[in-house]
């Protein structure tokens, strides 16, 4: 609960010139950009369903809960007191409260409950809000959500696990699936020798007479190791296959999933990640034999959209934290919020936040429309890689700049900015680091020309709205005509510019002129700078800053 009546009159000094406590907030009501994007991109029911979550997630007590979940990291419990093997991870109660916040509302399920009817937009908007509570616990929410399309490859698996994945509940107990109403999913793909090159995996799958398999091998990274089941890759006679590995075997005994250690990560402290070994682990094959990579990519594509959304939520939280501080702090004779340089920095952070949110929700709309619309399906192939790459490249510098707005108090752990800064790199690394995303963009452009054609149509909708945008499109078109080897060498520039141009197009079409036009000048113009706070001299700062919060 919030601190009550903290003393300001101390023996040696008075505590003055500090911002007021934040208090409870409504994360939807105070976020104009989110409300406008939902009204534009999503059916009306999405905002209605999000409203209670936004009020709950905005309560000040959640920040204390998130802080506790990070300070008391998950603990590995390999054995019981008598030496019997458990392979369990114990979390603080705060972590379980965070999981209930998401799962009790069905936010891991909504994309599939309302598939094609705004479900992905609801999921992405909820993740954007939940990330502002605590980013780390969103990892198992993302993987549970993303596992569902893979389960649909097998009716038997879907019948067993589908209702538990879609349940509006959370059950942390280590029990067989049949004893639980709700279940969470994890993923274990990468190995020491291959990393992102999963075709080099050496884990072996041996088929049994009953159609199941037994897995033997090592996984360098297993995310959310207390999940009820995992999707994993292994070698069998047909090549790389995809397999579902439950925590408990069908006979109720613990499966051969041995936790070797928990990773001591830079950030993402509330969430556990483990190094594991499969020792004759029971598994069920899923998808076509030898097509494991293609099968699990259906999950990966979903997680990439979430990995693009998390930085947008973190940007929003960091901007609010910086804005509240500078409005309540005076330096050199006037409020920081009235200082010209500070106003430009905060305004620029606001532009980046709105641009990232707009791209996430447009991508979510493409996911929802992919089943019935060729244009949306083509966009859905390309946009997750663009958004994941660019939002996460902006994230660490963004968090550092927001922290700098607070000064020393932002660098200590009492402020959430230190936690956000440590968290910032993780979504860039998970599910394909920056180079992997850029190579994926090049692959899509080569194999799916309909995707770049669809993106061109989206960009053309804003042509003529701003001269810097038009010039950027002309340069982009020239670069796209390069030979394949040149395109690959320039893949980082190309991915960045495709993402920025689409952000600009969305803002020019849908955001107030102060946002769209200033974004174009600051990101695409001749004086564009990698630094935050370098805006045109004529930038309408008042109109931009008014967008942050009531």
pLDDT tens across 153-203, in order?
999 999 999 999 999 999 999 999 999 999 999 999 888 887 777 788 889
Mean pLDDT of the region 195-221: 90
429 and 541 in a common domain: yes
Residue whose C-alpha is closest to residue 495's, from 381, 386, 420, 411: 386
How does pLDDT run across 415-427, given as a tens digit for each residue?
A: 899 999 999 999 9
Q: What is the CATH number of the domain that holds 149?
A: 2.40.110.20
pLDDT at 234 > cutoff 70: yes
Least confident of 413-417, 466-470, 505-509: 413-417
420 and 343 in a common domain: yes
Residue 452 belongs to some domain of the structure: yes
Residue 23 belongs to some domain of the structure: no
User: Residue 220 is encoded by which pair of tokens?
Assistant: 């360098």
Mean pLDDT of the region 447-467: 97
467 and 373 in a common domain: yes
For residues 386 and 356, what is the distance between their CA atoms, to the nearest angstrom? 11
Give yes or no for a contact between 316 and 159, defined as CB atoms under 8 angstroms apart: no
486 and 445 in a common domain: yes
Residue whose C-alpha is closest to residue 187's, from 27, 107, 306, 24: 306
pLDDT at 491 > cutoff 90: yes
173 and 64 in a common domain: yes
Residue 12 belongs to some domain of the structure: no
If one counts the domains in the chain, the total is: 2
524 and 440 in a common domain: yes
| pLDDT confidence of residue 201 | 87
184 and 74 in a common domain: yes
User: Residue 32 is encoded by which pair of tokens?
Assistant: 């104009």
531 and 486 in a common domain: yes
pLDDT at 2 > cutoff 70: no
* Residue 23 banded pLDDT, cuts 50, 70, 90: confident
Q: Residue 373's CB: how many other CB atoms inside 10 A?
A: 15
Residue 15 belongs to some domain of the structure: no
For residues 212 and 198, what is the distance between their CA atoms, to the nearest angstrom? 22
238, 265, 289 - which closes a domain: 289
pTM: 0.96
504 and 382 in a common domain: yes
- As a whole number, the mean pLDDT across the chain is 94
Burial class of residue 8 (count of CB atoms within 10 Å of its CB; 0-12, 13-18, 19+): exposed
Residue whose C-alpha is closest to residue 422's, from 399, 390, 406, 398: 399
In Å, what is the CA distance from 535 to each residue of 138, 296, 383, 427? 34, 43, 27, 28
Task: Give the single-character DSSP code of 9.
Answer: B
Give residue 247's domain range.
34-289
Residue 411 belongs to some domain of the structure: yes
For residues 205 and 242, what is the distance between their CA atoms, to the nearest angstrom? 10
Residue 26 belongs to some domain of the structure: no
How does pLDDT run across 319-368, given as a tens digit for each residue?
A: 999 999 999 999 999 999 999 999 999 999 999 999 999 999 999 999 99
407 and 493 in a common domain: yes
479 and 366 in a common domain: yes
In Å, what is the CA distance from 529 to each residue of 153, 193, 348, 489? 47, 39, 11, 22
Give the distance from CA 368 to its chain's centroid: 18
User: Would you list the DSSP string of 225-258?
Assistant: TT-SEEEEEEEETTEEEEEEEESB-TTSSBPSEE
For residues 27 and 207, what is the distance between their CA atoms, to the nearest angstrom? 50
For residues 67 and 109, what is the distance between their CA atoms, to the nearest angstrom? 26
Least confident of 27-31, 90-94, 196-200, 263-267: 196-200
How does pLDDT run across 126-153, given as a tens digit for each residue?
A: 999 999 999 999 999 999 999 999 999 9
Q: What is the CATH number of the domain that holds 411?
A: 1.20.140.10
pLDDT at 232 > cutoff 60: yes
How does pLDDT run across 72-113, given as a tens digit for each residue?
A: 999 999 999 999 999 999 999 999 999 999 999 999 999 999
Task: Give the single-character DSSP code of 200.
Answer: G
289, 320, 341 - which closes a domain: 289
Residue 20 belongs to some domain of the structure: no
289, 321, 339 - which closes a domain: 289
Residue 27 belongs to some domain of the structure: no
* Residue 18 banded pLDDT, cuts 50, 70, 90: confident
504 and 388 in a common domain: yes
For residues 455 and 283, what is the distance between their CA atoms, to the nearest angstrom? 40
* Residue 1 banded pLDDT, cuts 50, 70, 90: low
| pLDDT confidence of residue 199 | 80
């Amino acid at each position: 609960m919030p601190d009550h009546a903290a003393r300001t009159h101390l023996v040696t000094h008075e505590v003055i010139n500090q911002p007021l406590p934040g208090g409870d907030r409504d994360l939807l009501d105070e976020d104009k950009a989110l409300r406008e994007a939902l009204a534009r991109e999503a059916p009306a029911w999405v905002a209605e369903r999000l409203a209670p979550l936004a009020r709950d997630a905005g309560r000040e007590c959640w920040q204390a809960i998130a802080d506790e979940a990070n300070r008391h990291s998950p603990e590995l419990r390999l054995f019981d007191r008598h030496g019997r093997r458990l392979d369990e991870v114990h979390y603080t109660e705060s972590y379980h409260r965070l999981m209930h916040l998401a799962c009790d509302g069905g936010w891991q399920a909504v994309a599939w409950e309302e598939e094609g009817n705004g479900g992905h937009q609801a999921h992405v908007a909820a993740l954007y809000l939940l990330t502002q509570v605590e980013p780390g616990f969103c990892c198992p929410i993302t993987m549970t959500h993303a596992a569902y399309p893979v389960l649909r490859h097998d009716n038997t698996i879907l019948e067993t696990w589908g209702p538990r994945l879609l349940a509006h509940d959370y059950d942390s107990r280590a029990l067989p699936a049949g004893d639980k109403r709700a279940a969470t999913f994890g993923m274990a793909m990468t190995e020491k020798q291959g990393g992102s090159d999963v075709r080099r995996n050496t884990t072996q799958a041996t088929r049994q007479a009953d159609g199941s398999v037994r897995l033997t091998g090592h996984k360098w990274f297993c995310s959310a190791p207390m999940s009820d089941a995992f999707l994993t890759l292994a070698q069998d006679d047909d090549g790389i296959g995809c397999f579902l590995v439950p925590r408990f075997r069908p006979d109720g005994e613990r499966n051969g999933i041995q936790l070797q250690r928990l990773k001591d990560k830079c950030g993402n402290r509330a969430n556990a990640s483990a190094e594991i070994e499969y020792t004759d682990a029971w598994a069920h094959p899923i998808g076509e034999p030898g097509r494991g990579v293609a099968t699990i990519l259906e999950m990966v594509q979903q997680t990439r959209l979430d990995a693009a959304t998390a930085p947008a939520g973190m940007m929003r939280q960091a901007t609010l934290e910086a804005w509240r501080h500078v409005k309540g702090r005076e330096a050199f004779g006037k409020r920081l919020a009235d200082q010209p340089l500070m106003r430009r920095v905060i305004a620029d952070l606001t532009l980046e936040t709105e641009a990232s949110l707009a791209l996430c929700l447009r991508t979510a709309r493409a996911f929802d429309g992919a089943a019935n619309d060729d244009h949306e399906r083509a966009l859905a192939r390309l946009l997750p890689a663009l958004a994941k790459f660019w939002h996460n490249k902006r994230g660490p510098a963004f968090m550092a700049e927001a922290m700098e707005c607070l000064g020393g108090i932002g660098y200590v752990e009492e402020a959430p900015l230190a936690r956000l800064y440590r968290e910032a790199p993780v979504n860039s690394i998970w599910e394909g680091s920056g180079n992997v995303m850029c190579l994926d963009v090049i692959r899509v452009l080569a194999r799916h020309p309909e995707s770049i054609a669809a993106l061109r149509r989206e960009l053309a909708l804003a042509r003529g709205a701003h001269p810097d945008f038009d010039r950027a499109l002309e340069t982009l078109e020239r670069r796209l005509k390069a030979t394949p080897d040149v395109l690959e060498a320039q893949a980082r520039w190309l991915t960045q510019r495709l993402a920025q141009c689409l952000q600009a197009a969305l803002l020019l079409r849908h955001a107030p002129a102060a946002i769209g036009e200033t974004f174009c000048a600051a990101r695409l113009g001749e004086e564009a700078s990698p630094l935050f706070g370098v805006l045109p001299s004529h930038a309408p700062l008042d109109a931009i800053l008014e967008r942050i919060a009531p």
